[in-house]
Homo-oligomer: A and B are copies of this chain.
Protein backbone atom coordinates (compact mmCIF):
# COMPACT_ATOMS: atom_id res chain seq x y z
CA UNK A 1 0.00 0.00 0.00
CA UNK A 2 1.37 3.31 -1.12
CA UNK A 3 1.36 5.94 1.62
CA UNK A 4 -0.04 9.46 1.22
CA UNK A 5 0.81 12.23 3.67
CA UNK A 6 -2.22 14.45 4.26
CA UNK A 7 -1.76 18.09 5.22
CA UNK A 8 -4.87 19.95 6.33
CA UNK A 9 -5.05 23.71 5.66
CA UNK A 10 -8.69 24.03 6.86
CA UNK A 11 -7.81 26.71 9.41
CA UNK A 12 -5.39 28.47 7.05
CA UNK A 13 -6.77 28.31 3.49
CA UNK A 14 -10.31 27.87 4.78
CA UNK A 15 -10.12 31.14 6.66
CA UNK A 16 -10.33 32.98 3.31
CA UNK A 17 -14.00 31.95 3.27
CA UNK A 18 -14.70 33.86 6.49
CA UNK A 19 -12.27 36.68 5.84
CA UNK A 20 -9.85 35.40 8.47
CA UNK A 21 -12.38 35.82 11.28
CA UNK A 22 -12.25 32.35 12.89
CA UNK A 23 -12.28 32.59 16.68
CA UNK A 24 -9.92 30.77 19.07
CA UNK A 25 -12.84 28.63 20.19
CA UNK A 26 -13.68 27.59 16.62
CA UNK A 27 -10.05 26.81 15.87
CA UNK A 28 -9.55 24.80 19.05
CA UNK A 29 -12.67 22.78 18.22
CA UNK A 30 -11.42 21.95 14.77
CA UNK A 31 -7.92 21.09 15.98
CA UNK A 32 -9.42 18.54 18.36
CA UNK A 33 -11.43 17.00 15.51
CA UNK A 34 -8.43 16.78 13.17
CA UNK A 35 -6.14 15.46 15.90
CA UNK A 36 -8.61 12.77 16.99
CA UNK A 37 -9.02 11.54 13.39
CA UNK A 38 -5.26 11.25 12.99
CA UNK A 39 -4.63 14.09 10.51
CA UNK A 40 -0.82 14.25 10.36
CA UNK A 41 -0.32 18.00 9.71
CA UNK A 42 -2.64 20.87 10.67
CA UNK A 43 -1.82 24.18 9.02
CA UNK A 44 -2.46 27.40 10.90
CA UNK A 45 -1.98 31.09 10.23
CA UNK A 46 -3.51 33.78 8.04
CA UNK A 47 -5.08 32.57 4.78
CA UNK A 48 -2.28 34.12 2.74
CA UNK A 49 0.36 32.75 5.05
CA UNK A 50 2.46 33.86 7.99
CA UNK A 51 2.62 37.62 8.49
CA UNK A 52 -0.11 38.36 5.92
CA UNK A 53 -2.62 39.86 8.35
CA UNK A 54 -2.94 43.42 7.07
CA UNK A 55 -5.44 45.97 5.83
CA UNK A 56 -4.79 44.96 2.23
CA UNK A 57 -4.94 41.17 2.61
CA UNK A 58 -7.44 41.19 5.48
CA UNK A 59 -6.75 41.31 9.19
CA UNK A 60 -6.99 38.06 11.14
CA UNK A 61 -9.15 38.01 14.22
CA UNK A 62 -6.51 35.84 15.92
CA UNK A 63 -2.85 36.66 15.26
CA UNK A 64 -0.48 34.11 13.77
CA UNK A 65 1.54 33.73 17.00
CA UNK A 66 -1.66 33.22 19.01
CA UNK A 67 -2.87 30.59 16.52
CA UNK A 68 0.44 28.75 16.75
CA UNK A 69 0.34 28.89 20.57
CA UNK A 70 -3.20 27.52 20.47
CA UNK A 71 -2.14 24.69 18.16
CA UNK A 72 0.85 23.86 20.36
CA UNK A 73 -1.42 23.70 23.40
CA UNK A 74 -4.17 21.69 21.65
CA UNK A 75 -2.67 19.22 19.17
CA UNK A 76 -1.40 15.99 20.72
CA UNK A 77 -0.48 13.97 17.62
CA UNK A 78 -0.66 16.29 14.62
CA UNK A 79 2.30 18.40 13.59
CA UNK A 80 1.81 22.16 13.28
CA UNK A 81 2.29 23.47 9.76
CA UNK A 82 2.53 27.00 8.40
CA UNK A 83 2.43 28.51 4.93
CA UNK A 84 5.14 31.12 4.36
CA UNK A 85 5.56 33.46 1.40
CA UNK A 86 8.98 35.17 1.64
CA UNK A 87 8.42 38.89 1.44
CA UNK A 88 5.07 38.56 3.22
CA UNK A 89 6.76 36.76 6.12
CA UNK A 90 10.18 37.99 7.23
CA UNK A 91 12.87 35.69 8.60
CA UNK A 92 12.06 37.27 11.95
CA UNK A 93 8.38 36.16 11.69
CA UNK A 94 9.63 32.72 10.76
CA UNK A 95 12.03 32.53 13.71
CA UNK A 96 9.20 33.47 16.11
CA UNK A 97 6.96 30.81 14.58
CA UNK A 98 9.60 28.11 14.99
CA UNK A 99 10.22 29.26 18.57
CA UNK A 100 6.50 28.81 19.26
CA UNK A 101 6.66 25.18 18.13
CA UNK A 102 5.95 24.97 14.40
CA UNK A 103 7.11 21.63 12.96
CA UNK A 104 6.48 21.94 9.24
CA UNK A 105 7.08 25.01 7.07
CA UNK A 106 5.69 25.30 3.55
CA UNK A 107 7.78 27.97 1.82
CA UNK A 108 5.78 29.22 -1.15
CA UNK A 109 6.41 31.36 -4.18
CA UNK A 110 4.74 32.13 -7.46
CA UNK A 111 5.52 29.20 -9.75
CA UNK A 112 8.37 30.99 -11.54
CA UNK A 113 10.01 32.56 -8.49
CA UNK A 114 11.48 29.67 -6.50
CA UNK A 115 14.63 31.77 -5.96
CA UNK A 116 12.87 33.76 -3.25
CA UNK A 117 12.37 30.61 -1.14
CA UNK A 118 16.09 29.86 -0.72
CA UNK A 119 16.81 31.75 2.50
CA UNK A 120 13.64 30.63 4.23
CA UNK A 121 14.05 26.95 3.28
CA UNK A 122 17.69 26.97 4.35
CA UNK A 123 16.83 28.69 7.61
CA UNK A 124 14.10 26.16 8.47
CA UNK A 125 16.43 23.25 7.71
CA UNK A 126 19.24 24.85 9.75
CA UNK A 127 16.84 24.94 12.69
CA UNK A 128 16.14 21.22 12.29
CA UNK A 129 12.53 21.61 11.20
CA UNK A 130 10.77 20.26 8.10
CA UNK A 131 10.75 22.48 5.01
CA UNK A 132 8.74 22.01 1.84
CA UNK A 133 8.65 24.15 -1.27
CA UNK A 134 5.32 25.26 -2.75
CA UNK A 135 4.79 26.43 -6.33
CA UNK A 136 1.66 28.58 -6.37
CA UNK A 137 -0.50 29.29 -9.48
CA UNK A 138 1.37 26.41 -11.11
CA UNK A 139 -0.79 26.55 -14.26
CA UNK A 140 0.99 29.79 -15.23
CA UNK A 141 4.26 28.08 -16.13
CA UNK A 142 5.01 25.34 -18.67
CA UNK A 143 5.89 21.89 -17.33
CA UNK A 144 9.65 22.25 -17.97
CA UNK A 145 9.74 25.51 -16.02
CA UNK A 146 7.93 23.87 -13.09
CA UNK A 147 10.52 21.11 -13.06
CA UNK A 148 13.37 23.66 -13.00
CA UNK A 149 11.77 25.69 -10.21
CA UNK A 150 11.06 22.57 -8.17
CA UNK A 151 14.66 21.42 -8.66
CA UNK A 152 15.84 24.75 -7.22
CA UNK A 153 13.71 24.18 -4.12
CA UNK A 154 15.20 20.70 -3.80
CA UNK A 155 18.69 22.18 -4.04
CA UNK A 156 17.87 24.60 -1.19
CA UNK A 157 17.01 21.64 1.03
CA UNK A 158 13.26 21.33 0.55
CA UNK A 159 12.04 17.88 1.64
CA UNK A 160 9.23 17.91 -0.91
CA UNK A 161 7.64 20.22 -3.48
CA UNK A 162 3.91 20.90 -3.60
CA UNK A 163 2.20 22.02 -6.81
CA UNK A 164 -0.73 24.33 -6.13
CA UNK A 165 -3.62 24.59 -8.55
CA UNK A 166 -4.44 27.93 -6.94
CA UNK A 167 -7.04 28.85 -9.54
CA UNK A 168 -8.70 25.45 -9.87
CA UNK A 169 -7.83 25.28 -13.57
CA UNK A 170 -6.56 21.74 -13.93
CA UNK A 171 -8.26 18.62 -15.18
CA UNK A 172 -6.78 15.21 -14.31
CA UNK A 173 -4.70 14.98 -17.50
CA UNK A 174 -2.97 18.29 -16.59
CA UNK A 175 -2.17 17.05 -13.11
CA UNK A 176 -0.90 13.70 -14.35
CA UNK A 177 1.48 15.36 -16.81
CA UNK A 178 2.93 17.79 -14.27
CA UNK A 179 3.23 15.40 -11.34
CA UNK A 180 4.83 12.72 -13.52
CA UNK A 181 7.41 15.19 -14.77
CA UNK A 182 8.22 16.37 -11.26
CA UNK A 183 8.32 12.89 -9.77
CA UNK A 184 10.70 11.76 -12.52
CA UNK A 185 13.03 14.74 -12.08
CA UNK A 186 13.14 15.09 -8.29
CA UNK A 187 14.54 12.92 -5.52
CA UNK A 188 12.09 14.32 -2.98
CA UNK A 189 8.34 13.72 -2.64
CA UNK A 190 5.85 15.62 -4.79
CA UNK A 191 2.60 17.04 -3.42
CA UNK A 192 -0.57 18.53 -4.83
CA UNK A 193 -3.02 21.16 -3.55
CA UNK A 194 -6.33 21.43 -5.43
CA UNK A 195 -9.17 23.92 -5.81
CA UNK A 196 -12.64 22.89 -6.96
CA UNK A 197 -13.60 25.55 -9.54
CA UNK A 198 -14.17 23.00 -12.28
CA UNK A 199 -15.50 20.30 -9.95
CA UNK A 200 -12.31 18.26 -10.10
CA UNK A 201 -10.54 18.91 -6.76
CA UNK A 202 -10.87 15.37 -5.43
CA UNK A 203 -10.40 13.71 -8.83
CA UNK A 204 -7.29 15.81 -9.50
CA UNK A 205 -5.87 14.88 -6.11
CA UNK A 206 -6.36 11.20 -6.88
CA UNK A 207 -4.79 11.73 -10.31
CA UNK A 208 -1.81 13.29 -8.52
CA UNK A 209 -1.14 10.28 -6.29
CA UNK A 210 -1.76 7.90 -9.18
CA UNK A 211 0.96 9.83 -11.05
CA UNK A 212 3.45 9.57 -8.20
CA UNK A 213 2.61 12.31 -5.69
CA UNK A 214 2.69 11.34 -2.02
CA UNK A 215 1.51 14.52 -0.30
CA UNK A 216 -2.05 15.92 -0.63
CA UNK A 217 -3.85 18.88 0.88
CA UNK A 218 -7.55 18.96 1.71
CA UNK A 219 -9.91 20.97 3.88
CA UNK A 220 -12.96 19.79 5.75
CA UNK A 221 -16.14 20.10 3.61
CA UNK A 222 -13.81 21.80 1.10
CA UNK A 223 -13.80 24.92 3.33
CA UNK A 224 -12.11 27.71 1.41
CA UNK A 225 -12.63 30.72 -0.81
CA UNK A 226 -14.88 30.47 -3.86
CA UNK A 227 -15.48 26.88 -4.90
CA UNK A 228 -13.24 25.69 -2.08
CA UNK A 229 -10.47 23.12 -1.80
CA UNK A 230 -10.34 19.34 -2.13
CA UNK A 231 -12.92 18.09 0.37
CA UNK A 232 -10.74 16.40 2.97
CA UNK A 233 -13.10 13.73 4.29
CA UNK A 234 -14.17 12.75 0.74
CA UNK A 235 -10.55 12.63 -0.39
CA UNK A 236 -9.48 10.45 2.54
CA UNK A 237 -12.47 8.09 2.04
CA UNK A 238 -11.63 7.75 -1.66
CA UNK A 239 -7.90 7.19 -1.00
CA UNK A 240 -8.86 4.56 1.55
CA UNK A 241 -11.20 2.88 -0.97
CA UNK A 242 -8.37 2.84 -3.52
CA UNK A 243 -5.93 1.27 -1.07
CA UNK A 244 -3.71 4.27 -0.35
CA UNK A 245 -2.59 4.41 3.28
CA UNK A 246 -3.31 7.73 4.99
CA UNK A 247 -3.36 6.40 8.58
CA UNK A 248 -6.46 8.57 9.16
CA UNK A 249 -9.61 7.17 10.79
CA UNK A 250 -12.24 7.69 8.04
CA UNK A 251 -15.27 7.25 10.29
CA UNK A 252 -13.94 9.66 12.92
CA UNK A 253 -13.13 12.15 10.18
CA UNK A 254 -16.65 11.88 8.70
CA UNK A 255 -18.23 12.40 12.13
CA UNK A 256 -15.81 15.26 12.80
CA UNK A 257 -16.78 16.83 9.49
CA UNK A 258 -20.41 17.01 10.62
CA UNK A 259 -19.32 18.80 13.78
CA UNK A 260 -16.96 21.12 11.90
CA UNK A 261 -19.76 22.05 9.51
CA UNK A 262 -21.83 23.20 12.46
CA UNK A 263 -19.03 25.03 14.26
CA UNK A 264 -16.66 26.68 11.80
CA UNK A 265 -18.24 26.66 8.35
CA UNK A 266 -20.68 29.50 7.79
CA UNK A 267 -21.47 28.13 4.33
CA UNK A 268 -20.17 24.92 2.74
CA UNK A 269 -18.49 25.93 -0.54
CA UNK A 270 -20.40 25.21 -3.73
CA UNK A 271 -19.39 25.89 -7.30
CA UNK A 272 -21.16 29.01 -8.49
CA UNK A 273 -20.90 30.44 -11.97
CA UNK A 274 -18.20 32.89 -10.90
CA UNK A 275 -16.08 29.99 -9.64
CA UNK A 276 -16.33 28.32 -13.03
CA UNK A 277 -15.37 31.48 -14.89
CA UNK A 278 -12.47 32.10 -12.49
CA UNK A 279 -11.32 28.53 -13.12
CA UNK A 280 -11.61 28.91 -16.89
CA UNK A 281 -9.79 32.28 -16.70
CA UNK A 282 -7.02 30.90 -14.45
CA UNK A 283 -7.46 33.50 -11.71
CA UNK A 284 -6.55 32.90 -8.03
CA UNK A 285 -9.56 31.52 -6.09
CA UNK A 286 -8.90 33.94 -3.24
CA UNK A 287 -10.07 36.72 -5.54
CA UNK A 288 -13.63 35.38 -5.85
CA UNK A 289 -14.96 37.34 -2.87
CA UNK A 290 -13.48 40.75 -3.75
CA UNK A 291 -14.40 40.32 -7.41
CA UNK A 292 -18.01 39.47 -6.56
CA UNK A 293 -18.26 42.27 -4.00
CA UNK A 294 -16.78 44.94 -6.26
CA UNK A 295 -18.69 43.72 -9.33
CA UNK A 296 -21.95 44.06 -7.42
CA UNK A 297 -20.99 47.47 -6.07
CA UNK A 298 -20.11 48.87 -9.50
CA UNK A 299 -22.76 46.84 -11.35
CA UNK A 300 -20.41 45.11 -13.77
CA UNK A 301 -20.35 41.47 -14.89
CA UNK A 302 -18.03 39.39 -12.67
CA UNK A 303 -17.46 37.16 -15.72
CA UNK A 304 -15.93 40.07 -17.62
CA UNK A 305 -13.81 41.03 -14.60
CA UNK A 306 -12.43 37.52 -14.24
CA UNK A 307 -11.65 37.13 -17.93
CA UNK A 308 -9.81 40.47 -17.90
CA UNK A 309 -7.89 39.51 -14.73
CA UNK A 310 -6.94 36.26 -16.47
CA UNK A 311 -5.67 38.17 -19.49
CA UNK A 312 -3.55 40.37 -17.20
CA UNK A 313 -2.20 37.27 -15.45
CA UNK A 314 -2.89 38.73 -12.02
CA UNK A 315 -1.36 36.89 -9.04
CA UNK A 316 -1.87 36.99 -5.27
CA UNK A 317 -0.77 40.28 -3.81
CA UNK A 318 -2.10 42.29 -6.74
CA UNK A 319 -5.54 42.94 -5.26
CA UNK A 320 -5.32 46.60 -6.41
CA UNK A 321 -5.72 45.46 -9.98
CA UNK A 322 -9.20 44.10 -9.25
CA UNK A 323 -10.44 47.59 -8.37
CA UNK A 324 -8.69 49.02 -11.40
CA UNK A 325 -10.30 46.48 -13.75
CA UNK A 326 -13.75 46.92 -12.19
CA UNK A 327 -13.47 50.69 -12.61
CA UNK A 328 -12.37 50.35 -16.22
CA UNK A 329 -15.21 47.99 -17.11
CA UNK A 330 -17.74 50.18 -15.26
CA UNK A 331 -16.47 53.26 -17.15
CA UNK A 332 -16.50 51.48 -20.52
CA UNK A 333 -20.11 50.35 -20.03
CA UNK A 334 -21.35 53.69 -18.67
CA UNK A 335 -21.47 55.22 -22.14
Contact = CB atoms under 8 A, between A and B. Distances in A.
Contacts of A201: 199
A277 interface: yes
Interface band, chain A? 35 or more
A237 interface: yes
Contacts of A231: 199, 271
A273 B233 contact: yes
Contacts of A303: 251, 254
A270 B199 contact: no
Nearest to A240: B280
Nearest to A221: B270
A222 B276 CA distance: 14
Given A234-B198, A280-B237, A172 B273 contact: no
Given A198-B202, A237-B198, A238-B199, A272 B280 contact: no
The A interface is mostly helix, strand or loop, or mixed, namely: helix
B199 A241 contact: no
Interface of A: 171-172, 198-203, 206, 221-222, 231, 233-235, 237-238, 241-242, 251, 254-255, 257-258, 261, 268-273, 276-277, 280, 303
Given A251-B303, A254-B277, A254-B303, A271 B234 contact: yes
A206 B261 CA distance: 30
Contact of A171 (B238, B261, B272): B238
Contacts of A235: 199
Contact of A203 (B199, B241, B254, B272): B199
A241 B273 contact: no
Nearest to A206: B171
A271 B196 CA distance: 13
Contacts of A272: 257-258, 261
A207 to B, nearest CB: 8
A237 B233 CA distance: 26
